[in-house]
Amino acid sequence: MPVDYEFLYSFGEQLLNFQKSLRWVGIANRYGVLLSVEQRDKLKPFMTEEENEEYAANAVKRYTTRIKFQTKIGKLNYAFGRYEKISRVTIPINQYYYLLLTFDPEEKNYDELIMNKIVPLIRKYDDKFQSDEE
């Protein structure tokens, strides 16, 4: 099944619309290539498109280095980093796709948002996140 770019776009928009503290939504493939990027209206990005591409590649690479510990400590639900100006989240969707998010730094309920709203939304569309490799 080829990548459904229209779905990826609408999924990113759906996330941005239900959570006002979300700044940026990226969906990357397992090689760290950004397939879809959406950002909040009138947002002044901190990073260039090229920097976001580098960030995506590095985030996916970091995730893959953590896989070797899953048998001992369990599957990673998400990785979170708080910076002065933003908070970043990497959520593995499946073995082929990763959801990359940035939140406003004031957002304190990120765990609740991720685990109770974003992850269930990902699971709702599991069948849409498929790869040609399957």
Q: Which CATH architecture has domain 5-34+46-126?
A: 2-Layer Sandwich (3.30)
pLDDT of residue 120: 96
Q: Which residue has the higher pLDDT, 68 or 23?
A: 23
- CB-based burial of residue 65 (10 Å sphere; 0-12 exposed, 13-18 middle, 19+ buried)? exposed
**What residue ranges do the domains of the chain occupy?**
5-34+46-126
Kindly report, residue by residue over 29-76, the tens digit of the pLDDT: 999 999 999 999 999 889 999 999 999 999 999 998 888 888 999 999
User: Is the model's pLDDT at 2 over the cut of 80?
Assistant: no
Q: What is the pTM of this model?
A: 0.92
Q: Band of the pLDDT at 131, cuts 50, 70, 90?
A: confident
List CB contacts of 59: < 8 A, sequence separation 6 or more.
28, 32, 79, 88, 90, 98, 100
pLDDT in tens, 79-120: 999 999 999 999 999 989 999 999 999 999 999 999 999 999
Predicted local distance difference test score (pLDDT) of residue 1 = 65
